[in-house]
Structures are given as structure tokens and as C-alpha cells.
A and B are shown apart, each in its own frame.
Chain A
Amino acid sequence: MSQLAGAPRRPYPPAPQRIYLMGTCLVDSFYPQAGMDAIQFFQQLGIEVIFPQAQTCCGQPAWNSGYEAEARAVARQQLRAFAEDIPVVVMMGSCTGMMHHEYPRLFAGEPEEQAACGLAKRTYEFSEFLIRILNVGFHDIGKTNLSGVDSPVIKVALHTSCSTRRGMGLAAEHQALVDRLPGVQRVEPERVTECCGFGGTFAVKQADISAAMAHDKAMAMAATGADLMTSADCGCLMNISGTMQLLEQQGQCQAMPVKHLATLVWEAAQSSRVVVQEGEA
């Protein structure tokens, strides 16, 4: 079990009985199973999960592109979808950052300002929620590790997105979560803190620069020799893995499969006993 480096950056409530799940638009269309994995995981722990069908997108694409009014209109829909005072667990770090940091600004001076600030306060990124609020542990129940001799350890390359690392300050939580998974060896690529080049519309508006950054990140990722890559930001996952696959086609590297962190967590929960409030009396 890894120790958590650093004090929490914000106050955390005790483990709630009920949560909202914000899937995010990328998970919705490209990694929906990760969302279901998270839902099943929480349900197994006895936490009620509400998945508002009214949720859409946090509004970040427009906000980052300088379309403030358009972003506000979309954000307003999330204020409605997540209206009740229930913690919101978000499947991506960048959308968490949008809701936690930007909503109060987006609605400053607007009628919804108070609602936006309220939502911001109860919005948590997936690994943040697992580590800081649930403080989960995965206890060996002998399923994968019978003799302790040839335990199947998989090498997992972790990509922490810039919005998770810098925007939300959750790099340590990300690492801790991966480190707590049984049978997983965490590796990280060279220049781990550098941006993968996704950046939303940046990848389209400045495609050449974005591609150069993605190329370097994909090569560094491949160089880890990991069995699979994980992240809680699907934009980065699609960017890095798409680049890696093309580079593989060109014979420049060997690509690896990718999984959202929630999928790894759910898989771990199948082969171990999950404990909430690990190490507390």
C-alpha cells in the first residue's frame, strides 16, 4: 500500500451513501464500459449511484475555445442534471477541473452563481473520490496470487493528464490508486509531466504542433514496455493510443492496449476484497 504524498488540497466529506456519476461526453461515446465499471464498483460497495440521463457535457470544449456563452448554456444543463446536494464523481480529470474551477467563474454574476459554486464544491474526480473520500484498499483473497511465486504482475503505464495533475493537483491520488491495485506494477514514461498534445480543439486548430507532441508522448509511452496504458482522461487516451497505433503501423514502436482507470479498478475488485476507509479505526 502506498502512502499518499502531500496534504489534501481541498476539504473532503466522509464517504457518502449516494453519489451522482458524471460520465462525460467522451466516456459516453468512446469508453462507456468504463462508466459501467465505475457504477458497478460503487454499487458493490453499497453506494447508490445516480446516473442522470439529462447530463451531457461539462462545456469545456467551447469554454477553452473562447465561446463563453455557448459553454455557459451547456454548463447550465449540468447544473440542472446534478441539482441535488449529492457528491458528483466525474470520470475525467479535465471535466472535473471545468466543473470545480471554472463553473464559479462561468456563472459569476449570473442567477445560477450559487448553484454553480455549490456543484463545484461537491464535484470530485474518480481517483480523488476513491483515494481521498473512500480511501479504498484491495485485499488479497488468494484469487490471483495463490502460491505467491509466479504471481501474474502486469506492468501498467499511467498517464496523468495535465488537467488532473496541474488543474486539479491529483497526480499523487492517481499514482496511489494504481499502486493500490493488486498485481499491478506502475510505470511512467519519460517526461511524465509533459502534455500529450491533445488539448481539445488545439489538436485540430494547431494539428502540426499537436501531432509533434503526441508523437513524443506515444514514443515515450511505448518505451516503457508496459502491458497496457491507463488514464482517467479519455482525450489523452485516444490521442496517445491513436498515435501509438499509427506509429506501430509504420514500424516505429509497439502499441499497447488502453483501459480507463475505472476498468482496472473494477477488474481488481473481481479478484480481491475491497475495503473502504483502509487503515482507519
Chain B
Amino acid sequence: MSELRNQPEFIELTEVVDREEHEFADMAARHFKARAKMALENDTLRASFRGASDFLMAKRRSVFPDEEMLQALRDRGEAARQRSLQDLPDLLELLEQNLIANGIQVHWAETAQQANQIIHDIMVANNARSVVKGKSMVSEEIELNHYLEARGIECLESDMGEYLVQLAKEAPSHIVMPVIHKNKQQIARLMHTRATTPDGEAVPYSEDVDDLIGNARAILRQKFRQADVGISGVNMAIAETGTLLLVENEGNGRMSTTVPPVHIAITGIEKVVRSLSDVPELLTLLPRSATGQIITTYVNMISGPRKAEEPDGPEQVHLVLLDNGRSKMFNHPDLKPTLQCIRCGACMNHCPVYARIGGHAYGSTYPGPIGQVVTPQLDSSGGLGVHADMVNACSLNGACGEACPVRIPLPDLIRKLRAEANAPVTVQHDGKPHVNGSGSHRSLAESLIWQGWSQLHRHSALYRLTTTAITKGRVLMPSKLSPWTNTRVMPKPAASSLHQLAKKAGVPSSAADIKTAQTPDATDNREGKS
């Protein structure tokens, strides 16, 4: 133990870091609304997300200078993804066939549990004790780290952001930039108090980003060298060539897939494309939409384990294909576009709700708009019964849909999920595919309100009577109508409704009325339709 660790400053900083860990755990244990409120009240968090959103939106804009080109690219991105989905089962079989021909072993998992077990079995067969992981949101989705750690296997995240999140004992708050919620000072404290250099020392305190990255680099290099297994995600799987394509900037993806003797890749079944010709457009869109880069530092295309004559590379490569609800999404007529996603994160970068509550408030692996859409549909998530509140946390402003490189109509899907959550029994049993938890949030009170509202607005006489009553009764209107008026001054209805004013002014109510009414400036012979 180094002396550094006995210093009072060190102990003080440790307490701060521990407190942040507890705050995270505390938040995670609550319901959506409480989590959102906690996030809204945390100024540091708010500043981190606001700054990151502004930065990422500006960066994306800078790499799409030409609006027409952007829209042309989005057309092609959407088309490429839809083509792939059109032939999904065939492409998966073709992929498997070509991967096997290339020497890559293929495993199919219907559930998170199966995927974890497959990976663990591979580890056991190889006598593996340690894992180094490249970035993989699917591995977060199945909570692989917990599964393996419970079985005595060390799992180390190697993406800088993921590594820091793991040190903090938190979860990623963004699918592309996992530690976006912490500022430099927080990360400096974290590295100082929790990281250990290869010599077993504490890392000296520094807020300098180059220092912080340099220290993490030194620690992780050792791990890459020693790990028994490398685990990674996949950005695209190319069926015709049997290739796994990964994009990244740090080099940890290449390290994880290259240095350990066994590489296990895990991906959702939707990530397959037919051929190399499907790649360029998606590869043009992905980094531009994600981080505003023209291309990532590395595009890593793996088409097999090490050959006999090659001096390095893994001896085994495995691919785990995960369903976990995806084949159900494939069967839902309205929600199928969920599967077009290339996980760029642009929707969360552009979401005004995400910018304010951040990723953790969603309480799911995938936050932001795509998280709201995909989470309730994952088998492992508990469905709408657990996540309906998240689906309501959207003003349907459309910023996400406008940013999405593959034109997923995210607001439409969110609206559809609300309908699923509120579905009446008749709809739940109409024989069509439904989301897990369909109807679970139909409340008698709310459905009665909407039925009443609907009755009111489908009968115009009743409607006019009510608006008259509202406008007449404006003096009686309460000036407080929580929750609207907690943060706003109550608007007062006008003295007379437009219906009344128009009637009083003799504005025709139908084309037939015009025959009798004369408009002041109508000099020519207008012919009415009636």
C-alpha cells in the first residue's frame, strides 16, 4: 500500500467518490419519475449533459454541411437497413454459413440467459479466468459482467468511458459516450482513489485529460496482454463475406479482438447486412451521426481467426447472435423499424429530455429515444409493465426522428408504445402481435377521462356548450391547477369562444350559408359549390 492512500486528502476524496456511487445506487433503486427528478435537481449532472449535447449536435452539423446530401444519405441508410431486414432470416443463415466457412463459430441465443451461458461455456472450455471487453451495448443488455463475475471470472471494461464507469460502479449513461455524465474533476477523483497502477500504487491526482488517459492506458495495457478472452460487440455483420465489422477510436476494440487467444463477439440479430456494398453508406452515416467524425480511427473487419501462417490474432473467434425480443419486434407491424437502428446515439444527443435528465434516469441499458422504443420490447426488460413511464417522457418534438441516420420514425414508435401501454382488452386480444405488458398501464381513471373527452369533442353541440361554460366561467377558474401551475401562471380562457364570436359576426358555418351572406369585397361572380 502506498503512503498516498493514507493521506487525509485521499481519504476525503475517497468519501466523495463513494458518495457518488451511493447516489447512483440510490437513484437506480427508484422509479422513473423520482430518478428524473433527482437528475433534474443535480446541477453538475445537468451541466455535463447540456454541454455534451451542445457539443455533439454542433459536431454532427459540421460533418453534414450540405442538407441535400444529408437527406440523400439518410434515404440510403434507411434503404440499406430495410433491405437487410427484408431478408433477415435468409441473411442470418447466409452469415452463419460464411462465418463457419471462415472458421468463426456461431451460437444462437434466444434469451439473455442463454447468451450468458454460451459465453460462460466457451470460457470454461478454454479454462479462461479473465476477460477484457471492448465496447458492447449488447453485453450490457444481457448483464454479462454480473453473470461472469458471479462465476469467478474477472471482467474488465477497456473502452475508456466504460472503464471509468466500471471503476465508479455505475452504468453507462450514453450508448456511445458512456461516462458523458461525469466531468473532469469527478473523473480525476475517481482515477485517483480507485485505480491502481501496474505497480500497485494509487494514481496521482490530475485533472489533465492526457494524464488521465495515459494512466488508464498503462493499466489497461497490462490487462490486454494477460486476458484469456476478449469480448466485443459488432457494428455490422456482413453475410456474404462472413465478416464482423467494428468501429472505434481508441484501439481497445482492436486489442480485445486481437490480443487474447479467444475472441467472443456478441450482437443482436438485426445487425446483419447482405454484402460489402451495403457497408459504405452506413459507414458514412454512423460516425458522422454519432460523434461528428467523418470516420472513426479504426474500422476493424474480422473475417476469421488466425491462420496457420499468421503470427498473431485469436485462435478462436465466436459470434453469439442474440434475439432477446428482436424477433418479436420483427413481427409487430408498427414497431418493426426499431430494428433499423445502428446505435449511433444521435437521437439521444438531440433529445431535449435526455439533455435534461441524462442517461441513468431511464434506468435501462439504452437511454434516450431509442432506449424508450427498444427497452420495453426487450424480453429481459420486463416490458411496458415496468417501463411505461419512460415511454411518456417525450414531448413528441421530433428532434430524434430528424437526426436519425436511418430514418426511424422514433416519435411514431413512442406514440405506438403509449397506445400499447394503454391498450384496452379488446385490442390486447385482437390476435395481432403486441408488446410485452400491453395494456398494463390502462388505468380506469385515465381511460374514462379520454372517453369523456372523446364524447365531448365528437358532439359539436356538447362541445360548444362546454366551451361556452368554460369561457363564461372564467372568473371561477382556479388560478392553481397543479402540476401545470406549479411552474406556470394559469392561462385564463377568453370571454367568448371563437365559435361564439364567429357566429355573432355572421361568419358562415357551411357552404350553404354563403348564399345568404355577402362578403364585402366579393365583386366577381363567385360560384358556390352548394
Interface residues of A (CB under 8 A from B): 17-18, 21, 23, 25, 27-33, 35-36, 39, 43-57, 59, 61-71, 73-74, 76-77, 81, 84-86, 162-163, 166-167, 193-195, 197-200, 202-215, 238-239, 241-243, 245-246, 249
The count of A-to-B residue pairs whose CB atoms sit within 8 angstroms is 238
- Distance of B9 from chain A, by nearest CB (Å): 35
Chain A residues, Cβ within 8 Å of B458:
56, 73-74, 76-77
Pairs A–B under 8 Å by Cβ, sample size 20 = A21-B507, A29-B497, A30-B494, A32-B494, A32-B501, A50-B509, A51-B498, A53-B503, A54-B509, A61-B453, A66-B418, A67-B450, A77-B460, A81-B460, A84-B530, A166-B402, A194-B399, A195-B397, A211-B486, A246-B489
- Distance of B496 from chain A, by nearest CB (Å): 6
Does B419 lie within 8 Å of A66, measured CB to CB?
Answer: yes
| Chain A CB within 8 A of B491 CB | yes
- Distance of B45 from chain A, by nearest CB (Å): 12
A-B pairs, 8 with minimum CB distance: A199-B395, A66-B418, A242-B488, A207-B483, A195-B397, A70-B454, A162-B397, A66-B419
Interface string of B391-417 (1 = CB under 8 A from A): 011111111011000000000000111
| Chain A CB within 8 A of B225 CB | no
- Distance of A243 from chain B, by nearest CB (Å): 5
Does B450 lie within 8 Å of A65, measured CB to CB?
Answer: yes
- Distance of A238 from chain B, by nearest CB (Å): 5
Interface residues of B (CB under 8 A from A): 33, 36-37, 40, 352-353, 356-357, 392-399, 401-402, 415-422, 424, 447, 450-451, 453-454, 456-460, 463-464, 467, 470-471, 483-494, 496-503, 505, 507-511, 513-514, 519-523, 526, 528-530
Does B396 lie within 8 Å of A202, measured CB to CB?
Answer: yes
Chain A residues, Cβ within 8 Å of B513:
50
Chain A residues, Cβ within 8 Å of B501:
32-33, 35-36
- Chain A CB within 10 A, most for which of B356, B492, B523: B356
Does B36 lie within 8 Å of A208, measured CB to CB?
Answer: yes
Does A43 lie within 8 Å of B519, measured CB to CB?
Answer: yes
Does B40 lie within 8 Å of A209, measured CB to CB?
Answer: yes
Chain A residues, Cβ within 8 Å of B419:
66-68
Q: A62-B454, A66-B416, A84-B529 are in contact. List 12 more A-B contacts (CB 8 A).
A: A29-B470, A35-B501, A50-B507, A54-B509, A66-B421, A86-B511, A199-B395, A204-B483, A207-B487, A209-B353, A241-B491, A242-B490
Does A23 lie within 8 Å of B450, measured CB to CB?
Answer: no
Return the contact of A39 from the options B417, B460, B505, B514 (Cβ within 8 A).
Answer: B505
Does B507 lie within 8 Å of A51, measured CB to CB?
Answer: yes
Does A50 lie within 8 Å of B422, measured CB to CB?
Answer: no
A50→B526 CA distance, assembly (Å): 14
Does B395 lie within 8 Å of A213, measured CB to CB?
Answer: yes
- Distance of B325 from chain A, by nearest CB (Å): 20
- Distance of A146 from chain B, by nearest CB (Å): 27
Does A53 lie within 8 Å of B464, measured CB to CB?
Answer: yes
A249→B450 CA distance, assembly (Å): 34
A62→B453 CA distance, assembly (Å): 8
